[in-house]
Amino acid sequence: MMGKRIAATGNEAIANAMRIANPDVCGAYPITPATEIMQRFTTFVSNGQVKTEMVLAESEHSAMSACIGAAAAGGRVATATSSQGLAFMWEMLFVASGLRMPIVMGVANRALAAPINIHGDHSDGMGARDCGWIHLYSENAQEAFDNMIQAFRIAEHLDVRLPVMVGMDGFITSHAIQTMEWLDDETGAKFIGEYQKVRPLLDIKHPVSYGPLILTDMYHEYRKAHDYVMSGVPNVVLDVAKEFEKVSGRKYGLFESYRLDDAEVAIVVLSSAAGTTKEIVDQFREKGIKAGVLKPRLYRPFPYAQIGEALKHLKAVAVLDRADCFGGSFGPMYMDIASALYPYAQKPVLVNKIYGLGGRDYMPEQAEYVLNELVQLAKGGEVKSFKEYIGVRE
Amino acid sequence: MKTWKEVTPGAVVTEPGSARKFKTGSWRAAKPVWIEENCIQCMFCWIYCPDMSIKTKDGKRVEFDYDYCKGCGICALECPGKKGKKAIIMEEESK
């Protein structure tokens, strides 16, 4: 049942998940640090390992447009991008989700210009968080592979039919070689299954039109319908995860709770930084401090109720954001966690730390610094600042 | 009118040719008027019309289809007319 244990980069993991899914069409444009995904995938195409029609577009806007056209035509579609590329797709991201196209896209999360920077940061994914796509975030190459495989099932589920982006940290995960376990090709392909077409353009016996003008009389209804479909996504994600566990032995939820049940203080953090944080939490536990971690996996739709329930008993929580919102406000995930906790009368003190922008290393000392502050806040200590940049030269 | 529970996912239109039900003539601010005596049946108006608002019969143009003509004026601009007299002129819709 278990696949082979190998050493692979996050990009290699995503490219191989795409190979196993064997998409009908892939429209793509290369961008650091996601380039290796397409470099590897186009090799699979050239070697005849997949039957994919590869469309090498002149930009990411066109790449996503090609993906949308191919999905409307009735094909399974996958692609990958990063940073400026994701930003350049912005207009078409909304078209993909509004037309309910089950496109799957790997994203090596990277900072946005200016100043230009190629390294890991969540500014790209966070900027696209409300574009109607489903967002999954991955801590390492293993999760990137597993999420990518599951993403096809989630996107193509007949109750969903929405695009999914699978994030992993640029360079930190996309380029670092890690040990991980494949799903063997046959098991993976069987798990993903045959693509089910829904109202394909190429079914000329049942002609359809995509992309009509919808004005004041109906637009509001279409948006409500989209919101409703999104609300059912968490259950589908959990169902798919349960089936994935049967074939892989690996368990996934909407988020990962690490030593959280009896915790008094906790850090909420996405992707690769969660690994470092768990190490430091273990050290604090050895000192008798009840610390934990919550690592969101399904970021959109955000499981507000479930995360609220998981955090409400804590005394102090820090949300670590690897992106900032320049609205004079907080990081994007802090605002989500604050919303998740708002309904509760009893809730933890909640502070926001901005870390690791543009690939700045997130060091164990930073996790220690944050946990030490949370211990003080849990004892009733005064909040000096609700938002703070950590690891920055003052 | 459909409720949000009844709309087709992705706003896909499943009825062929249903665009003809969406009459756009009310968008018009200026109206093309055909002066048949100046018309040489060159069919330029029929070729240039961005919609399908020049009706034809037996290979010749007949009256405008005002259900869909948005009054863009391209037909009037392209019309060569006869001896310097236009066969299509634009009139303000309010008149």
Alpha helix (H) residue ranges in chain A:
10-21, 35-46, 60-73, 83-88, 90-98, 123-127, 141-156, 185-192, 219-231, 233-248, 273-286, 304-311, 332-341, 364-378
Q: Are residues A216 and A262 in the same domain?
A: no
The answer to whether B11 contacts A224, with C-beta atoms less than 8 Å apart, is: no
Range 261-300 of A in CB contact (< 8 A) with B: none
User: Cα–Cα distance between B62 and A51 in angstroms, integer?
Assistant: 52
pLDDT tens for each residue of A310-357: 999 999 999 999 999 988 889 999 999 999 999 999 999 999 999 999
- Give chain B positions within 8 Å (CB) of A207: 16
Domain match, A330 and A216 both: no
Residues A193 and A337 in one domain: no
pLDDT tens, residue by residue, A121-151: 999 999 999 999 999 999 999 999 999 999 9
Claim to verify: residue A282 and residue A229 sit in the same structural domain? no
pLDDT in tens, A103-112: 999 999 999 9
For residue B8, CA distances in Å to A134, A146, B5 come to: 20, 32, 9
pLDDT at A3 over 80: no
Q: List CB contacts (< 8 A) between B7 and chain A.
A: 218, 221-222, 225
Q: Looking at residues B55-77, what average pLDDT do you find? A: 97
What the block records as the tokens of A5 is 């244990």
Question: In whole angstroms, how far apart are CA A334 and each of A169, A262, A268, B45, B66?
Answer: 19, 22, 9, 60, 56
Model pLDDT, residue A62: 98
Domain that holds residue B39: 23-92
- Residue B66: how many CB atoms within 10 A of its CB? 15
Distance, in Å, from the CA atom of B60 to the CA atom of B57, rounded to the nearest integer, reads 5
| Closest Cα in chain A, distance from residue B23 (Å) | 13
pLDDT of B37 higher than 50: yes
- Read off the pTM: 0.93
Q: Is the domain of A182 the same as that of A311?
A: no
Question: Closest Cα partner for A134 from A121, A117, A147, A116?
Answer: A147
pLDDT of residue A1: 45
Which pLDDT value is given to residue A380?
A: 97
Q: What is the pLDDT of residue A327?
A: 87
pLDDT at B94: 78
Question: Residue B95 pLDDT more than 90?
Answer: no
Residue B12 lies in a domain: no
Give A 187-226 residues with CB within 8 A of chain B: 198-199, 206-212, 214, 217-218, 220-222, 224-225
Does residue B80 surpass a pLDDT of 90? yes
The phi, psi pair for B9, rounded to 5°, reads -55, 135
Q: A241 and A272: one domain?
A: no
- The DSSP annotation for B24-89 comes to -GGG-SEEEEE-GGG-----HHHHH-SSS-EEEETTEEEEE-TTT-----HHHHH---BTTB-SEE
Percent pLDDT > 90 in chain A is 98
Q: Which of A248, A270, A295 is the last residue of a domain?
A: A248
Confirm whether B8 is domain-assigned. no
CB interface of A with B, residues 302-361, below 8 Å: none
Q: Give the total number of structural domains in chain B.
A: 1
pLDDT tier for residue A2 given thresholds of 50, 70 and 90: low
d(CA B66, CA A215): 22
Is residue A275 assigned to a domain? yes
Contact between A228 and A301 under an 8 Å Cβ cutoff? The reply is no
Asked whether the beta carbons of residue B13 and residue A98 sit closer than 8 angstroms, the reply is no
Domain assignment present for residue A141? The answer is: yes
A-B CB pairs within 8 A amount to 51
State yes or no: pLDDT of A91 exceeds 60.
yes
What is the residue range of A384's domain?
A: 255-389
Kindly state whether A157 is in contact with chain B, defined as any CB-CB distance less than 8 angstroms.
Answer: no
Asked if B11's CB is within 8 angstroms of A222's CB, the reply is: yes
Domain boundary (A248, A279, A297) is at: A248
Assign residue A371 the CATH number of its domain: 3.40.50.920
User: With an 8 Å Cβ cutoff, are B12 and A210 in contact?
Assistant: yes
Task: Give the CATH number of the domain where residue B67 resides.
Answer: 3.30.70.20
For residue B2, the chain A residues in CB contact (below 8 A) are 218, 221
